[in-house]
Amino acid sequence: ACSEFSQRSCEECLKNVSCLWCYTNNTCLDYPVRSILPPSSLCSLSNARWGVCWINFEALIIAIAVVAGLILVSIAVCCCYCCYCRRRSK
């Protein structure tokens, strides 16, 4: 159970992937798997840590969204470029 790691350290808590660390009260909580994001009643996103201790959940979500957006844009640009080259070569 994640609650066993409360009042210890963030690193100890996050060794278990199913745990979430909340800096507001230094508690280790079970990650709410039924919802994608932990509810603010459990812990605010700016104080929640999951996976790594050095980045908060809010920044983690933004970083993942930016990387996913860049990948989608680069795929779209490659597809458009390839279609344009095919039309030109014919």
Residue by residue, pLDDT tens for the chain (90 residues) are 888 888 889 999 999 889 999 998 889 999 888 888 888 888 888 999 988 899 988 898 899 999 999 999 999 999 988 887 767 665
Cα 70 from Cα 64, distance rounded (Å): 10
pTM of the model: 0.72
User: Burial level of 54, CB count in 10 A (0-12/13-18/19+)?
Assistant: exposed
Element (H, E) at 26: none
pLDDT for residue 73: 96
Is 47 strand, coil or helix? coil
Handedness of CA 52, 18, 46, 25 (dihedral sign): negative
